[in-house]
Amino acid sequence: MFENTFRRIGTFSAKHSAAVIIAWIVVLVILAPFAPALFSDTSYNIASDIVPPNSPANIASNLQSQYFNTSNDSSFVIVTNNTSIDTITSLHALMGMQGAILSYLNRNGYRANASSIITVENDTLKSVSLSLGKELSGIYKINVNLYNEATKLNQSLSATADFLFVPAIAYVMNFTKELESGYNLSDPEKAGYQNASLVMQKFAESPYASLSPIYLSSFSTYMNKTLTPGNTTKISEIANSAVNSTSEIISQSVKSSSAFLSSEIMAVDSNLTLIDFDNMSVYRPFAENFTVNAIVPGLSNYSTVISNLNLTVRDFVHKIVNVSFEANYAQIVDLTSSEIYNGTIYQFNGNPLVSLNLKYLEPYLSDLLNNGNTNDSYINSTVNSTIYDETFQQYPVIPSQYVMGSLVGYGNTTEIFAFTLNKNYTISTLNSVNKIAASYVSVKPVDGIYYTAGTDVLSQQIEQEVMTGLVRALIIGIVLSILIVGLFFRSPVAAFLPFSLFLMSSIISFGLNDILYRYALHASVSFVTPTLLLILLLGLTSDYVVYIMSRYRRELYRNGGDPIPESSKWAGHAVFTSGITVALSYIVLYLFKVPIFSDAGITNAVGVVVSIMLANTFLIAVFKRLGYRTFWPARNRNIPMETTMEKISSVVLRNKKKIVVIFVIVAFGALYVYASTPTNMNVFSLIPPSSGIQSAVIVNQSFHGDLFFESFVILKFNSPVIVNGTYNASEMNQITKLENMIAGLSGVAKVYGPTYPYGQYVNIDKLPSNYVSTYRSQINTFIGSDPHYVMVEFELSNISWSNAATSFINSLPSKISSYMGNSITFYVGGLTAGLDAAYSHTLHTFEEMIPILAASIFVILAVQLSSVFTPLRLILMVLASVIVGLMLIYWIVYYIYHLPIIIFMPMFTFVTLLAVGLDYDIFMITRAREGVMKGMTDEEAITTSIRENGGIIVTLGSLLFVTFGSLYFSDLQLIEEIGGGLAIGVLIDTFLSWPFFVPAVMLLMKKWNWWPSKIRKA
């Protein structure tokens, strides 16, 4: 069917050859500018491309983007290993590396910032030190003032005590002495008074000078009235009472002018006596207590400042009073440092972001105080010298374990440096950064290792690997293709014709696909698409051109007439039938939205259609213009490998039943291996070991969790979790229940969520009083802008793309549902969930796609070949050949090299070979059908088809084999696997299935090959 249509197309193209050639050149020129743009529309972000759009993982990702501020602004990350921050050499190297990279970036037009343990420590120590410096300075000044005030009060108390008691003692001493010489009291009283007056002269220059007369008068009057010859033995007690009486009188006399002095006099009088006023064990406790009581009321404005030291105002004053009474001014520095030390411990208790290194904190505070002469400049200088001269073991203030855990691995030998840039950077910039890092880290005596990472870095590294591999694979494929075609036709002209049409089809296809994706679909293509498209076009275009060219040569040398009509009729029709099945296969692949590979479906379909059109029009026009020169200088009319094919056909005729039995046995054995070999979605293990991948592995090992690719659960509640700043207890209890469950699962390293804001459980009703706002702010980051949504993040113990991680995530939804019940809606997200969803989706799609694809191809072939059985037989035998090919590649990849079988490989191999593998069968069937229509028997037609098509099909198969096999040199094991599967499948179809199995079955079926049609004999 349609043979005559292609005859007419060929005749038209030959008749208007110049116009056809010019038309195609115009199309080429128009689309050429668009072709390179497809590479710029290519996405190399595997993590985002691989998630199926309707999967729970993608829904979780969309909800995360919509309701939670989870943007990561890091442009690239450097991970260093074997670089301990506890050794000065490594620490200096890391500081130098970070500073040099920032300097380089800023010099080259970037606004760059770095987030690392070094910047965090520097910022933390500087901010805390500036705050502590102000506190030290303030407390020091208060202490100095209080010291002076306490000293004055002590001096005043001491002077008051002397004023009250020293004259009285002088009186008693002289009185007693004079009394010993007689019994007359007047002389002792006079002597006592005189001695008291003499002592009182010492106070002539003191504030008590005006009070001396009152004192002497009152004291002597009391003594004269009270003393009698019978009580002189109690003179000390009487004198003490006299002091009491005198103190009251003096106190009252000064009360109006100096209330404090009045109270001081009474306090001294009330707490001291004539006997013990100069006894320090009595005097000092009284004096200290009095001084404290006197000072405390004046510090009401400093109560908050002092309470931050975890001291009451009284305790604070008592400390400095003690120092004052010791007259040890130098001790103020130590006291201040000690107070700030204890206050700092108190203030930082419960701080989720900062920890204190108590062993080194107090000496550091003394350094900061600088004997009371501290200032911001001195503090900054102290911070810088501390950062540079010490290690993390000696820093007085360090980031908390929560902060450290996100920047430094266990053992403090692995560090993460995240650099943020204001604009995109180039590969050249990244290479320069790598050189800088190497010059600091990878040299003696450090001998560390560094890895550059980040989404953009990984994408750039994959892009570099893909492009390098693509160029290498294309060069190998093109060179081998030209050699094979040249040897087959023994003509340099013929050798370069397939290559020329490949260039045209590539440029046109890339241009059309760029327009399609840029302006119609508004999407990008995945990183595998350009490689697969170019390699497929190289193989199929070469096949189509060579097949038509071979038929053209046969017709050219056969009768000497016009070879174009007959060549176009049969070869053109065969190429169209073959090509349309290939295009259909890829369209089905596109419609099923297979991650990463679905866009390869539509691009490949466009490319195949372009190749078919070029082969049936442009190539025919070129034949018309060149004629015999197409095969210059060869004049060989023999069909290549005709003798060999004759022998093969004879073997098949004699052993057709045995061949079919062998084929069935091998096919079922291959089916067993195929079905029993596990597949997965571990695509990252098949990416070259770039620094982006290696860094993730190192971080996972050093941090004991997959820090780079955190997983998460999005919860949706019927009621909001927070209303007017108040957390709803019911919802928060459910969240805690889920967080506890996840934290308790084997395979989870850390959990973060509303009640695990910093990786540890906190009671939201009992948050540390000093950091309530800090905790609430962090808690709220896990509550969405729509408060019905909550996010719980967790780090997996195993790297995200490992089988263990995938198995864990696969089982997590059922565990959550079982534990939490059905009252809550949730979605599990993250890279691992995306990979698991991609695998499930691809596997399910694969199982649905193959029957649909086979049915579609069956319909096309049934219409084209006017047969029901032949299309069915073709499809089954190609599927069997594919399974045999997969068996071999499975043995090589999985059982020998122990690499994972990515589900994409068998799927893409099936889709491609189900169509491409039919090519040679279709070429054979159409030639056999042509023979039957021209009056041959089935045996004669099949033998003729083998003899005439054998050489060309072996050539075509070799072309496809080397083309697909060139993917082995792509450097991406994912593409290498696919290339290996395709190459081995083509090899089996070319050298086993087509020459042996297909004709054996056809010979057994005979007329049933064409049922239900009855081929009309020509």
Look at residue 130 in the predicted model and tell me its pLDDT.
94
Look at residue 704 in the predicted model and tell me its pLDDT.
93
Do 467 and 604 sit in the same domain of this protein?
A: yes
User: Given a cut of 70, is residue 187 above it in pLDDT?
Assistant: yes
CB 963 within 8 A of CB 955: no
Q: At what angle do helices 938-965 and 998-1005 cross, to 10 degrees?
A: 160
Could you tell me if residue 222 is inside a domain? Answer: yes
CB neighbours of residue 119 within 10 Å: 17
Section 624-651 average pLDDT: 77
H runs (alpha helix) in 16-116 = 17-31, 37-40, 46-49, 56-67, 88-107
567: confidence class by pLDDT, cuts 50, 70, 90: confident
Section 36-59 average pLDDT: 81
CA torsion sign, 484 to 488 to 492 to 494? negative
- The closest of 1011, 1010, 1012 to 932, measured between CA atoms, is 1010
559: confidence class by pLDDT, cuts 50, 70, 90: low
Do 422 and 393 sit in the same domain of this protein?
A: no
One DSSP character per residue, 251-316 reads HHHHTTT-HHHHHHHHHHHHH--TTTTT-HHHHHHHHHHHHHHHHGGGGGGGHHHHHTTT--HHHH
Look at residue 1016 in the predicted model and tell me its pLDDT.
52
Do 880 and 965 sit in the same domain of this protein?
A: yes
Least confident of 43-47, 100-104, 282-286, 384-388: 43-47
CATH number at residue 95: 3.30.70.600
Least confident of 205-209, 401-405, 632-636, 970-974: 632-636
Could you tell me if residue 854 is inside a domain? Answer: no
- Residue 527, classed as helix, strand or coil, is coil
Torsion of CA 297, 299, 303, 309, to 10 degrees: -120
Do 294 and 306 sit in the same domain of this protein?
A: no
Could you tell me if residue 863 is inside a domain? Answer: no
Question: pLDDT tens, 77-94?
Answer: 999 999 999 999 999 999
One DSSP character per residue, 704-716 reads TS-SSS-EEEEEE
Top-confidence residue, 650 or 617: 617
Cα angle 507-511-517, degrees, rounded to a multiple of 5:
145
- The closest of 826, 835, 815 to 747, measured between CA atoms, is 815
CA-to-CA separations, 148 to 154, 157, 369, 501, 895, in angstroms, rounded:
10, 14, 19, 100, 87
Section 139-160 average pLDDT: 94
How far from the centroid of its chain's Cα atoms is residue 765's Cα? Answer: 33
Task: Give me the residues paired with residue 753 across strands.
Answer: 756
Look at residue 987 in the predicted model and tell me its pLDDT.
87
CB 612 within 8 A of CB 584: no
Residue 185 has phi, psi (to 5 degrees) of -80, -20
Do 776 and 877 sit in the same domain of this protein?
A: no
User: Given a cut of 80, is residue 932 above it in pLDDT?
Assistant: no
943: confidence class by pLDDT, cuts 50, 70, 90: confident
Top-confidence residue, 329 or 48: 329
Least confident of 350-364, 541-555, 944-958: 944-958
Could you tell me if residue 40 is inside a domain? Answer: no
In the chain, the number of structural domains is 6
User: Given a cut of 60, is residue 600 above it in pLDDT?
Assistant: yes
Question: pLDDT tens, 722-780?
Answer: 999 999 999 999 999 999 999 999 999 999 999 999 999 999 999 998 899 999 999 99
- The closest of 85, 272, 240 to 168, measured between CA atoms, is 240
Look at residue 635 in the predicted model and tell me its pLDDT.
65
Could you tell me if residue 223 is inside a domain? Answer: yes
Task: Give me the residues paired with residue 793 across strands.
Answer: 712, 752
Question: pLDDT tens, 948-958?
Answer: 777 778 888 88
Domain residues for the domain of 78 are 49-111+403-453
Torsion of CA 951, 953, 958, 964, to 10 degrees: 170
Do 412 and 482 sit in the same domain of this protein?
A: no
Look at residue 856 in the predicted model and tell me its pLDDT.
82
Long-range pairs, 721-728, Cβ under 8 A, ≥24:
721/754, 721/783, 721/787, 721/788, 721/790, 722/780, 722/783, 722/787, 723/787, 727/754, 727/764, 727/779
Look at residue 48 in the predicted model and tell me its pLDDT.
72
Look at residue 810 in the predicted model and tell me its pLDDT.
93
- Residue 641, classed as helix, strand or coil, is coil
User: Given a cut of 80, is residue 423 above it in pLDDT?
Assistant: yes
CB neighbours of residue 361 within 10 Å: 20
Percent of the chain at pLDDT above 70?
Answer: 96
Q: Give 739's contacts (C-beta < 8 A, 6+ positions apart).
A: 751, 753, 754, 755, 756, 761, 792
237: confidence class by pLDDT, cuts 50, 70, 90: very high
Percent of the chain at pLDDT above 90?
Answer: 52
How far from the centroid of its chain's Cα atoms is residue 195's Cα? Answer: 93
The b-or-e profile of 140-168 (16+ CB within 10 A means b, else e) is: bebbeebbebbbebbebbebbbbbbbbbb
The secondary structure element, H or E, covering residue 1017 is none
Question: pLDDT tens, 5-38?
Answer: 889 999 999 999 999 999 999 999 999 999 998 8
CB 198 within 8 A of CB 173: no
Question: pLDDT tens, 107-148?
Answer: 999 999 999 999 999 999 999 999 999 999 999 999 999 999
Look at residue 999 in the predicted model and tell me its pLDDT.
80
Section 247-264 average pLDDT: 91
Could you tell me if residue 524 is inside a domain? Answer: yes
Do 475 and 378 sit in the same domain of this protein?
A: no
Question: pLDDT tens, 684-722?
Answer: 777 777 787 888 889 999 999 999 889 999 999 999 999
Do 447 and 500 sit in the same domain of this protein?
A: no
Question: pLDDT tens, 985-1016?
Answer: 888 888 888 788 878 877 777 777 767 766 65
Could you tell me if residue 66 is inside a domain? Answer: yes
151: confidence class by pLDDT, cuts 50, 70, 90: very high
Do 528 and 588 sit in the same domain of this protein?
A: yes
- pLDDT, averaged across the chain: 88
Structure tokens, 140: 């020091």
pTM above 0.85, yes or no: no
CB neighbours of residue 992 within 10 Å: 18
Cα angle 293-297-298, degrees, rounded to a multiple of 5:
115
CATH number at residue 564: 1.20.1640.10
Half-sphere exposure of 927 (CA within 13 A, CB side): 27
- The closest of 311, 305, 309, 338 to 323, measured between CA atoms, is 338
- Report the alpha-carbon distance of residue 854 to residue 872 in Å, rounded: 9
Question: pLDDT tens, 436-480?
Answer: 999 999 998 899 999 988 777 777 777 788 888 888 889 999 999
Do 545 and 601 sit in the same domain of this protein?
A: yes
Do 290 and 151 sit in the same domain of this protein?
A: yes
Look at residue 120 in the predicted model and tell me its pLDDT.
96
Do 613 and 650 sit in the same domain of this protein?
A: no
| DSSP E strands, 717-818 | 722-723, 726-727, 748-752, 789-796
- Residue 796, classed as helix, strand or coil, is strand
Residues in the chain: 1018
53: confidence class by pLDDT, cuts 50, 70, 90: confident
637: confidence class by pLDDT, cuts 50, 70, 90: low
Cα angle 77-79-83, degrees, rounded to a multiple of 5:
145
Q: What is the DSSP letter of 454?
A: S
User: Given a cut of 60, is residue 1018 above it in pLDDT?
Assistant: no
Look at residue 842 in the predicted model and tell me its pLDDT.
87
Q: What is the DSSP letter of 902?
A: B
Domain boundary among 400, 419, 443: 400
Q: Give 650's contacts (C-beta < 8 A, 6+ positions apart).
A: none
CB neighbours of residue 860 within 10 Å: 15
Look at residue 850 in the predicted model and tell me its pLDDT.
86
Structure tokens, 771: 């950091």
Look at residue 652 in the predicted model and tell me its pLDDT.
79
975: confidence class by pLDDT, cuts 50, 70, 90: confident
The b-or-e profile of 745-760 (16+ CB within 10 A means b, else e) is: eebbbbbbbbbbbbbe
Could you tell me if residue 988 is inside a domain? Answer: yes
Place of tokens 């450290």: 404
Residue 826 has phi, psi (to 5 degrees) of -145, 155
Section 202-218 average pLDDT: 88
CB neighbours of residue 672 within 10 Å: 11
| DSSP E strands, 403-471 | 414-420, 449-453
